[in-house]
Amino acid sequence: MYILKPEMAQELKQTTSKIYTDIPDILYKTKFIATIGDICTIKLIQEEVIPSLIIVDYKTKRNVKLTEMQMSIIESVKCRNVEVNNKPGTISQELYFEIENAIKSDVVTKIVVNGEEDLATLPVIKLSKIGAKVIYGMPDRGMVVVDVNQRAKERANELLERMLVK
């Protein structure tokens, strides 16, 4: 299990990746896309860009439940559905395992998290192949598109190592 240490919280809020309010054109040509977060997932689906891996908790801004319309957009994707438990500020073994399975699989997968999905970005970057795009929401700002490259993988690995609880 991974647990976020309080001193790491501010560091994780910072990004060198560009924040978008609209879907960048590159996503229309990307082979593997993972979304972490409900609003960015909805935005992509509405633009007919179906992620290979969807990780949602059916909430926005920590505790606001999605509307029925928003839920129906996410539910419209035909895919393998998995439910996992994941407490806030953690990455459970169950969540990590399902992310790993989904990335190894060729089947579009939606992981619904009971709890919080925010930190799932780190194992998704770590486990994705170079060239994948990992997208997560920045509340009230837009969506961050991470180009999975060696540097992104190294940063994700380093952060996960610091969080690891054996």
Give the pLDDT confidence of 73-121 residue by residue, as tens digits: 999 999 999 999 999 999 999 999 999 999 999 899 999 999 999 999 9
Residue 13: is its pLDDT beyond 90?
Answer: no
Residue 62: is its pLDDT beyond 80?
Answer: no
Domain residue ranges in the chain:
2-163
For tokens 């799932």, name the residue.
Answer: 120
pLDDT at 166: 61
Residue 158 CA to residue 152 CA, distance in Å, equals: 10
Q: Which residues pair with 148 in a beta bridge?
A: none
- pTM for the predicted model, two decimal places: 0.94
Candidates 160, 34, 21, 15; CA nearest to 99 is 34
Candidates 140, 146, 145; CA nearest to 23 is 145
Radius of gyration of the chain (CA): 15
- Portion of the chain with pLDDT greater than 90, in percent: 77
